[in-house]
Structure 1
């Protein structure tokens, strides 16, 4: 019975079964029998270690893969990858500007001349002119009103993806209201800040709320808004510098008296 169990469960050869008889293990005194038994056991252990079920290849095959399941967005980007992404965005933006229709591109660039010329001329001459600053604020208010009303023209046509609902039509009146408020301020600085807010609101409408605009138009809107904001802030800064210089000169003149 013991031999049958060994043959079925351990698949040991017949010679090993004879050598593993209990009588030989308990009462055998022959040294050659013990040595041969040890050799047979070592050989069978080697065979078992080389069996396909315990081979190293199978062990590596069943290793869990949980250690390599880190999500890609948790991995930190190298500086080279971020630089390539930034350059890719800039290249796409420049390509979009080049692909824009020529009338839209040239008219947009020409519309930025009144914004840029006012602070540039005052900086070159080194003198602040309130009349030029007010003319810039007036032109900025007209531009903001045009950008707000442009949304009506996009939502009114029948085949337009934007519906003429309260959201589109009411939001288009917000930039003109800010522009009107900018003209009511007597201080140029306050008017410039109000126009900057109105330009930001109009840009948010065109970029976020109306995604059906073409890419070239969005890039053109961003570039134009940046130039207009910088020009308005430059005029406000020149006004502040001129007021400080005027106050310092007055203090010196009073001290001399």
Structure 2
């Protein structure tokens, strides 16, 4: 009976040893699994965090840069506009002051016949058709000169304007309009045609064709403004003073008839 008990004891001992051995490796395996899972989780976190940070930070930085550019660019642009306008005004004044004295004085002297005609009519209080026709003739000569000046500017070899159809054909337009102004019997119609010719010549010289020097452009604008205003003043004086003169003539005729 003693042997079986030992067998049972041994069997029980053998049975208990596996029960005691298996938990150890299982715990080790479970520990290893936990450490591997924890390390892999840490690695995933380390790998994912920079990606998420880069994905989240890059758009934010881009949007902030765009917002900064959006908020900072318009005020800077608004600040530049007055500076540019002031610089352009200063350049225009300097170009007028720095223009050659012969060109400045001759240009101002050429405006005297235009201004003298309506001024003399206004001072006398009467409309003079002879003075009006003389103003139209002088304006036609001036418009022809401005048209021929384009030819003289385009013909030299080193000129920025080429002697092509555009430059040379447009140079003949003001003389043709000036000739048409001389054909009108009424001075007001001739003055209106001259205003058109002078405006077209100014448009050619300033914006359409290759430009002249800056000082000459300023002189052209000022000269054209004075010439056009003088012609319009003559037309207005004829409408005002001519009507009064016709009324006075009618009254004088009625007095003669009644006498």
Change (3 A) 1:228 1:72: farther
In structure 2, the residue matched to 1:165 is 164
Q: CA deviation at 1:150?
A: 0.9
Change (3 A) 1:255 1:177: same
Q: CA deviation at 1:117?
A: 1.2
State TM-score, norm by structure 2: 0.70
Question: Would you tell me which structure has more helix in proportion to its own residues?
Answer: 2
Q: CA deviation at 1:125?
A: 2.5
Measured in 2, the distance between the counterparts of 1:87 and 1:251 equals 58
Change (3 A) 1:184 1:67: same
Measured in 2, the distance between the counterparts of 1:219 and 1:230 equals 17
Aligned residue pairs, count: 218
In structure 1, the residue matched to 2:223 is 224
Change (3 A) 1:77 1:54: closer
- Residue by residue, what CA displacement relative to the aligned partner does 1:177-198 show, whole Å, maximum 9, x if unpaired? 1101111111111111100110
- Residue by residue, what CA displacement relative to the aligned partner does 1:10-38 show, whole Å, maximum 9, x if unpaired? 47xxxxxxxxxxxxxxxxxxxxxxxxxxx
Q: CA deviation at 1:9?
A: 1.7
Measured in 2, the distance between the counterparts of 1:89 and 1:186 equals 44
Q: Which moved more, 1:60-69 or 1:121-130?
A: 60-69
Determine if the alignment matches structure 1 residue 6 to structure 2 residue 43: no
Q: CA deviation at 1:227?
A: 0.8
Q: Could you say what secondary structure the match of 1:62 adopts? A: helix
Determine if the alignment matches structure 1 residue 146 to structure 2 residue 178: no
Measured in 2, the distance between the counterparts of 1:139 and 1:161 equals 30
State TM-score, norm by structure 1: 0.70
What is the CA RMSD across the aligned residues, in angstroms?
3.8
Measured in 1, the distance between the counterparts of 2:76 and 2:247 equals 53
Change (3 A) 1:63 1:231: same
Measured in 2, the distance between the counterparts of 1:99 and 1:106 equals 13
Q: Could you say what secondary structure the match of 1:199 adopts? A: helix
Determine if the alignment matches structure 1 residue 187 to structure 2 residue 186: yes
Measured in 2, the distance between the counterparts of 1:3 and 1:213 equals 86
Change (3 A) 1:59 1:71: closer
Gaps of 5+ in 1: 12-50
Q: Contact conserved, 2:205 with 2:211, CA < 8 A, in 1?
A: no
Larger-gyration structure (1/2): 2
Measured in 2, the distance between the counterparts of 1:180 and 1:136 equals 14
Q: Which moved more, 1:94-103 or 1:121-130?
A: 121-130
Determine if the alignment matches structure 1 residue 120 to structure 2 residue 93: no
